[in-house]
């Protein structure tokens, strides 16, 4: 059995006041009161019994802090099997890129999939706070056998230009470009499931 670890996205703020400001200004609809069942929850069924899909809830995703996520993930790593596949969506993607670039873990990372991951905040209205990548991503490339990037040209959250920045730092990474997936908040993601199954 191969473990697949999926790290969800989140929001960052430069200060607690900015976080409170966003809470005050955010429009809430009845839609927000229902749980969203999307591709992440569906991965268990799509991948089947040969895979164990883990989806840890990272601390305070509405006001995410890298230092807090690192503390939590440090506790998760020893619980993982020897062979793992990592999936990071949005902020979860840059988290994995940063964590694996700054830390060495004693697991065989068969592949890392970054879905709609921001690279930096130079082209975004919001800040990435302490989710800032180091200059070198060498440790990341050394630890993960395969790195696969997914981005959609119509993403309203993470600019499409972020893909090229990752490609410059990760020249051996595979890339899949879509035109109609937005920020990949969709019910299913068959391409990701297929790519995971293709890993030996």
The residue length of the chain stands at 200
The residue-averaged pLDDT of 82-100 equals 96
pLDDT the model gives residue 125: 64
Q: Cα 149 to the chain's mean position, in Å?
A: 10
Predicted local confidence at residue 39, as pLDDT: 82
In the numeric block, which tokens belong to residue 169? 């730092």
Superfamily of domain 2-197: Alpha/Beta hydrolase fold, catalytic domain (3.40.50.1820)
- According to the model, what pLDDT value does residue 61 have? 87
User: pLDDT at position 152, please?
Assistant: 95
For the chain, which residues make up each domain, given as ranges? 2-197
For residues 120 and 52, give the distance between their C-alpha atoms in angstroms, rounded to a whole number: 31
pLDDT tens per residue, range 14-57: 889 888 988 898 888 887 787 766 888 888 888 989 999 999 99
């Amino acid at each position: 059995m191969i473990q697949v670890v999926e790290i969800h996205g989140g929001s960052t703020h430069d200060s607690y006041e900015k976080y409170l400001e966003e809470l005050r200004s955010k429009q809430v609809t009845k839609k927000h009161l229902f749980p969203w069942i999307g591709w992440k929850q569906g991965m268990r069924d799509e991948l089947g019994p040969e895979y164990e899909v883990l989806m840890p809830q990272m601390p305070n995703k509405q006001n995410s802090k890298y230092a807090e996520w690192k503390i939590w993930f440090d506790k998760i790593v020893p619980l993982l099997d020897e062979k793992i596949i990592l999936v990071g969506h949005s902020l979860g993607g840059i988290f994995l890129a940063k964590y694996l670039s700054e830390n060495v873990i004693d697991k065989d990372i068969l592949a890392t999939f970054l879905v709609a991951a921001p690279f930096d905040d130079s082209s975004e209205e919001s800040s990435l706070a302490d989710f800032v990548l180091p200059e070198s991503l060498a440790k990341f490339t050394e630890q993960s056998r395969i790195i696969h990037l997914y981005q959609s040209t119509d993403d309203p959250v993470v600019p499409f230009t972020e893909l090229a920045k990752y490609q410059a730092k990760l020249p051996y990474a595979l890339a899949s470009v879509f035109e109609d997936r937005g920020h990949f908040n969709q019910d299913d993601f068959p391409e990701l499931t297929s790519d995971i199954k293709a890993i030996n």
